[in-house]
Amino acid sequence: VHLTIPAENGNATSGMLYGLMYEDINYSGDGGLYAELIRNRALQGPNPDLTAWRAYGAGVKLNVDKTEPLSDALPNVIRVDVPATATGKVGFSNEGYWGIPVNTDQYKASFYIKGDYKGDIEVSLRSDVDGMVFATKDVAVRANSQWKKYTTRFTPTSASPNANNTFSILFDADKVAGKSLYFNLISLFPKTWSNSGTNGLRVDLAQAIDDIGGKFLRFPGGNNLEGQSPPYWWKWNVTLGDLIDRPAYPGPWGYVNTLGLGLVEYMRWTDLMDLEPILGVYAGLYLDGTVVPEEDLAPYIQSALDELEFLTGSVDTPWGAVRASLGYPEPWTIKYVEIGNEDNLWGGLPSYQDYRFDLFNNAIRSKYPDITIIASTPEITGTPAGTWLDYHRYDKPDHLTTYFDQFDNWDRNHPVMVGEVAVIAPNEPNKPEVEWTPGALRLAFPSMIGAVAESIFLMGCERNADLVKAVAYAPGFQNLNSYQWVPDMISYTADPADTTLSISYYLQKLFAHNVGDTTVPIVTTANFRPLFWSATYSKQHREYYVKMANYNGTSTDVTLDIPALRGGKATWTTLSAPSGHSYNSPRNITSKWTVTEIPKSGTGWTVTLDNLMIGVLKIQK
């Protein structure tokens, strides 16, 4: 196959084509990216229980107590009943999000206590396998009938070989025998990514997503924005401030969100990784199909306006002042707001089409005319020109490749954000499309053939850079101990040694690192399929990036010519795996990433594109 780049005069790319979609699903915030190590730290949720907690000491009992609330937001607390006969150290421990990793960095522990206790309380990290103590610290406590917070820092003397560890809080039995002590909001933070501090991000997971090199962050969902049923949706204003004031959010994915990863934490994340925020605002649709009627929608619209004022208003505005009071006097900039999420589903489209989109859109546009509005479905008609449409596609490999050219003939009045795209199921004879019925076949981890199909879809987006402004894989994260959706881009347990970067992860990284500011035409006599290609050029870096994939073809030599180019250093980066079914799983990475320099021969460069290989030929001017 012979490809020629005759000129650089293509369409401009958005500059933020590749990015991240994030929501708390699969314990991706709590138990994932949010670095908190204590699970069920404040017995939150409508049905509080003692999940992850264990009593320590003969006869010691733990209870969910509702009579001694720590705050309005955190009404349930742990009551530790100590028997009159108790001796030595007693207390309780937490097993974390299915384990607690221990390394030799500093940890920060804190807890609230109420009750009659004066003396040391020992916090420690110890092995659940053999009791080995990795760290212990005494906290001098003078507890009484008022809630008091204690914070301490400690550094383990050695790292644990695995994450089978617990965090314990122990006290002297003889000081409290026959009585009870109350505890709540028990927290343990390890070192966080890029010093993101309290409420910061887990180091290895944050590093992995930063390494992708994406340019935007779409948050807070996905379905997690919408909530399962009234009255729950992602209420941004209760995610602010001290953790003591953040109530539980029973998100739609079957577990309670602590909201420790709140709006401010998301914004800090975008700051630290230099990502463009794409903010989803709740638009009156619950996942059970409930829709807020038109006459009741005003407070929800006001909430979206308040959210924007909180983020972008000066300190002289009421919500800007709230932001400043939290330590952020400088306003953030929000350029993109998505109204809702998948409002064509769950019976939502008629109301979105009839009144919800317009009411939100008019209110936001009239106050913030510079913000680009994104409708959460491509199926709505009649939106003002310039409105972006959010397109989602979960598919099978063969079927996804058929969408390579779909954006070629799209209505150019409406730019597209591909907010979610992934191959989620294998090809099956006579079943070309994904089935959403329970038990339908799914991939456990992204496969090589799936990644090749995704690459073809992404090249279709790049070729239409005037139209497709942003594209993201979804979902991003999966805690392997409890999840609701497969496959996912990054999988993990509490033990960082299990963290698995999928083949689709590597595809995102490959493409995000190799995209220019302009698409460039490719002239050839060859037809697409089984080979696919697209090219961009970066004026800033003076580099061409020619992406290619081979979908079920034979190994093929591809020669690229750029007649106008005299010199040129070429690097060929490939992503491949032993077979189309191959996938990466914990401690078993099958995909291969190779980088080779390609010598110029004549006016061009020749590379070999094997079956089910993805490659990028980067040419520096």
What is the binding site for ligand AHR (CB under 6 A)? Answer: 23, 25, 221-223, 341-342, 392, 420, 474-475, 485
Q: Which residue is nearest to ligand AHR (CB)?
A: 222
The distance of closest approach from Cβ of residue 344 to ligand AHR in the complex, given in angstroms and rounded to an integer, is 11
The distance of closest approach from Cβ of residue 253 to ligand AHR in the complex, given in angstroms and rounded to an integer, is 8
Of 84, 145, 90, 138, residue with least CA distance to 117: 145
Q: Please name every residue paired with 218 in a beta bridge, in sequence order, or none if there are none.
A: 21, 278
C-alpha to C-alpha distance for 48 and 501, rounded to whole angstroms: 34
- Contact (Cβ atoms closer than 8 angstroms) between residue 37 and residue 97: yes
Q: How would you list the strands of the sheet with 165-172, edge to edge?
A: 53-56, 89-94, 165-172, 117-127, 133-143
Distance from chain centroid for Cα 158:
31
The distance of closest approach from Cβ of residue 345 to ligand AHR in the complex, given in angstroms and rounded to an integer, is 7
Of 51, 41, 80, residue with least CA distance to 63: 80
- Contact (Cβ atoms closer than 8 angstroms) between residue 604 and residue 560: yes
C-alpha to C-alpha distance for 443 and 434, rounded to whole angstroms: 11
Output 39 or 392, the one with its CB closest to ligand AHR: 392
Distance from chain centroid for Cα 148:
34
The distance of closest approach from Cβ of residue 504 to ligand AHR in the complex, given in angstroms and rounded to an integer, is 13
The distance of closest approach from Cβ of residue 490 to ligand AHR in the complex, given in angstroms and rounded to an integer, is 13
Output 347 or 563, the one with its CB closest to ligand AHR: 347
Output 376 or 519, the one with its CB closest to ligand AHR: 376
The distance of closest approach from Cβ of residue 226 to ligand AHR in the complex, given in angstroms and rounded to an integer, is 8
Task: Return phi, psi of residue 547, to 5°.
Answer: -95, 145
In this structure, what token pair is assigned to residue 27? Answer: 């314990």
The distance of closest approach from Cβ of residue 301 to ligand AHR in the complex, given in angstroms and rounded to an integer, is 22
- Contact (Cβ atoms closer than 8 angstroms) between residue 32 and residue 477: yes
Positions of E strands within 100-179: 107-114, 117-127, 133-143, 148-154, 165-172
Peptide bond connecting 231 to the previous residue in cis, omega within 30 degrees of 0: yes
Output 172 or 342, the one with its CB closest to ligand AHR: 342
The distance of closest approach from Cβ of residue 448 to ligand AHR in the complex, given in angstroms and rounded to an integer, is 21
Output 21 or 619, the one with its CB closest to ligand AHR: 21
Handedness of CA 563, 565, 570, 572 (dihedral sign): negative
C-alpha to C-alpha distance for 305 and 575, rounded to whole angstroms: 44
DSSP SS3 for 182: strand
Output 341 or 361, the one with its CB closest to ligand AHR: 341
Output 50 or 434, the one with its CB closest to ligand AHR: 434
Output 327 or 438, the one with its CB closest to ligand AHR: 438
